[in-house]
Amino acid sequence: MSATDAPTGEQLLSVYRTMLVSRAFDEECMRRLDRGEVVPHFHSGVGQEALMVASVAPLRPEDQIIYTHRGYGHLLAKGVSVLEIALDTYNKTGGTTEGLGGLMHVNRPDLGIPGREGVFGTRFGVAAGLALAEQLRGTDGVCVCFYGEAAGARGPLYEALNMSKLWELPVVFVAENNGWSFTSRTEWLYPTRRMSDAWTGFVDVEVVDGNDPEAVWSAVTSSVERVRAQGGPAVVEGMTYRLDPHIWWDDASYQPDAEIAAWRERDPVPATRRRLTELGFASDLLDDLETSARAEVADAFERADAAPEATWDTARERGMV
Amino acid sequence: MTELTQTGAAVSTMKAALTEVLGQELARSSDVLVLGETIRDGGAAGVAAGLFERFGSRQVIETPVSENAIFGAVLGLALSGFTPIVEIYSADFLLAVANEVVNDIPKWRQQQGRGGALPIVIRGCMGANGGLGPEHSQAMEPYLHHTPGLTVVTPGTPADAAGLLRSAIASPDPVVFLEHRRLYDVAGPVPTDPGHRVPLGRAELVAEGDDLTVVAWGWMRTEAVLAVEALAREDITADLIDPRTISPIDWDPILASVERTGRLLVAEETPITGSVGAEIVARVVERSSRPVQVARVAMPDAIHPYSAAMERELLPTAEDVARAARQLVTRRWEAAATKAGQETNEGGSAC
């Protein structure tokens, strides 16, 4: 990692803006759940915004990502609109999947988001294939593949790492270690509690504070630029915590209150605001960002609520089937 | 391909015909890739022999024994505009990579709401060839024909293998191309035109007759041809239809034939329960305007043994097909027409 890998103040401000939109999206979904509504397939990313957003923000437009089921910061940081995500959430017409893939398969190949598998684990091979395509074409795009405790325990990760190392593919695997795999603690699934320890010594591994967007930005940037220049792969593990329940119908009763409270102290959203204040950004500006993020999300949900349902006919009209 | 048999055709084994097509397609476009285990040395059965030497490691990619990541990578390559042709070392291993083959690849375009092409060819050897054991001998089409989004091809002749493989590579859809081991060394005339294609989803009327309709594909086409020839000597004549593509199947010629003959016999090299033949019989009976008498020749619901001699007792043969046809035509229903049925009727089991 070099000093040039660190984000500028303006870049951190941009990351913060996207983190706020991601947070506002999740909070709106949680409010709807509290009202007794259904938010199909919603997996809150609250607490993980720094890792999601600061990993994607430094990428080039031609770089591709494979995101996880949790949180929408990756998508927002790559350029997907809140409105598209809201439309896909409710299977309304006009989203990216037109009722066929819902919130779980938001995609914009033109933005470097080719899609996501339904059974966790296929993504590792897909990421290697996307990176192999870059290598075969002689282009210099990088694929960044995010994964959680579930996918990371599956064999395809080993297979893809081995192939990527063998062929020096430009791919970075970002482990999102958020302490829990649904009701299972990470340390019940990984002997050292670290998701990347098994790969240390085999490929380049960097473990980073996933709640520090500057550290995440720097780690991912240095890994991405190294594999872009020299081939890869690399693994970055971000240590973070899931502050909300796993999925919309989960009550998270298995997560101790004291543990959640301790991690709330390390919530990346207020922490990033404090850092921006240190860097000299005015409170008014930061307040305005928060207000506009909430307004953008409210507007998106209002429009999504009013939008017609997607149908086989609308999917056909849009050439999606 | 040396000996000319007719204008524009040369005698070739199925294996050589497949190799020839792969070479033509690799030469046609640098976006066509061949991937697989031991592929530098020709792959599992030598179908890719010589391709690495001709096209190099950029187009002929030797992979670790990592089926899940290979097939995931093939999906990533197809999403990136390549046409990957990936070899499964033995088609039984499609079950090791069923998540990619059944869950991800066929569902990808719809699940992401994306139309367009996803040109992937998954090819490999399958079927019983004498003592390969239960995990290297299965005919795999029944596992796959249930999956919307997959085209499943089972060539039965060298010419069909060449023409269907070209069509599979040109297809915008994922295709599973299942090559029966016993056919690799079978020789026959193959059109020399490198543009010759056999369309996917089109059956072939192999023989014509009036007394019954026989449907068989893959290796069982060969057995069925022998059976139909034997029956003809007994003045029993049959339409023999090779669907060639199992999914989507070409229903019209089968339905039209059975409308005329009123009798349907399906022969296949798989355990009888839940087989492709079960689907063919059900569809024909549903749709036919007249009562249809049906028979199925298949394996019992048994596991392939390593002993080739013991395995032969399970595998349907031309004689089984001919016997079932005779019973169908003479309406001797009390004797079951299938090996499976015989085992059941005798109260025994083959395994």
Model pLDDT, residue B5:
55
Give the integer Cα–Cα distance in Å for A51 and A57. 10
Kindly name the residue from B25, B87, B136, B180 that is annotated as catalytic. B136
Q: Which of A29, A38, A90 is nearest to A309 (CA)?
A: A90
In chain A, which residues have their Cβ closer than 8 Å to the Cβ of B72? 117, 122-129, 156, 160
Residue A144 near residue A224 (C-beta atoms within 8 A): yes
Give the integer Cα–Cα distance in Å for A133 and A164. 12
Cβ contacts from A onto B, under 8 A = 138
Residue B343 has pLDDT above 70, yes or no: no
Distance of CA B45 to the CA centre of its chain: 16
Give chain B's mean pLDDT: 93
Please tell me which residue, A150 or B347, carries the higher pLDDT value. A150
pLDDT category, B337, cuts 50, 70, 90? very low
Model pLDDT, residue B332:
55
Phi-psi region of A79 (alpha: psi -120 to 50; beta: other; left: phi over 0): left
Distance between the two ends of chain A, CA-based, in angstroms?
45
Tell me which H or E stretch contains B284: helix B276-287
Q: Which of A123, A125, A105 is nearest to A115 (CA)?
A: A105
Query: Is the CB of A101 less than 8 angstroms away from the CB of B111?
Result: yes
Residue with tokens 């294609």: B197
Strand pairing category for A184-185 and A180-181: antiparallel
State how far residue B73 is from chain A, nearest Cα, in angstroms.
4
What is the pLDDT averaged over residues B179-185? 98
Structural domains of chain B sorted by starting position, each given as residue range(s) with its CATH number in brackets? 4-191 (3.40.50.970), 204-345 (3.40.50.920)
In chain B, which residues have their Cβ closer than 8 Å to the Cβ of A143? 76
In chain B, which residues have their Cβ closer than 8 Å to the Cβ of A65? none
Residue with tokens 């008014």: A284
In chain A, which residues have their Cβ closer than 8 Å to the Cβ of B80? 129-130, 133-134, 137
Query: Is the CB of A156 less than 8 angstroms away from the CB of B74?
Result: no
For chain A (321 residues), the mean pLDDT of every run of 10, in chain order, is 82 98 98 95 97 98 96 97 98 96 96 94 97 98 98 97 98 97 95 96 98 98 98 97 92 94 97 98 98 98 98 93 86
How is domain A3-317 classified at the architecture level of CATH?
A: 3-Layer(aba) Sandwich (3.40)
Kindly name the residue from B20, B25, B37, B67 that is annotated as catalytic. B67
Give the integer Cα–Cα distance in Å for B71 and A279. 47
B259 a catalytic residue: no
Residues 152-211 of A with CB under 8 A from B: 155-156, 159-160, 162-163, 166
Residue B348 has pLDDT above 50, yes or no: no
State how far residue A180 is from chain B, nearest Cα, in angstroms.
25
Model pLDDT, residue A4:
76
Residue B113 has pLDDT above 60, yes or no: yes
Which residue out of A140, A162, A163 would a mutagenesis test of the B interface target, given it has the greatest number of B Cβ atoms within 10 Å? A163
Residue B347 has pLDDT above 60, yes or no: no
Model pLDDT, residue B327:
96
What SS3 class is residue B48? Answer: coil
What SS3 class is residue B137? Answer: coil
Query: Is the CB of A163 less than 8 angstroms away from the CB of B75?
Result: no
At A277, give phi and psi (nearest 5°).
-65, -45
Query: Is the CB of A100 less than 8 angstroms away from the CB of B113?
Result: yes
Does the CB of A94 have a partner CB in chain B at under 8 Å? no
B334 a catalytic residue: no
Model pLDDT, residue B129:
94
Model pLDDT, residue B115:
82
What is the pLDDT averaged over residues B295-306? 96
For B346, the token pair is: 């005798």
Model pLDDT, residue A291:
98
For B328, the token pair is: 């169908």
Give the integer Cα–Cα distance in Å for B145 and B266. 16
pLDDT digits (tens, 9 = 90+) for B184-215: 999 999 999 999 999 999 999 999 999 999 99
Report in angstroms the alpha-carbon separations of B96 from A155, B45, B69, B228.
12, 19, 11, 38
Query: Is the CB of B63 less than 8 angstroms away from the CB of A155?
Result: no
Give the integer Cα–Cα distance in Å for B335 and A283. 90
Residue B247 near residue B201 (C-beta atoms within 8 A): no
Share of chain B above pLDDT 90, in %: 90
Q: Which of B322, B258, B320 is nearest to B294 (CA)?
A: B258
Model pLDDT, residue A3:
61
pLDDT category, B72, cuts 50, 70, 90? very high
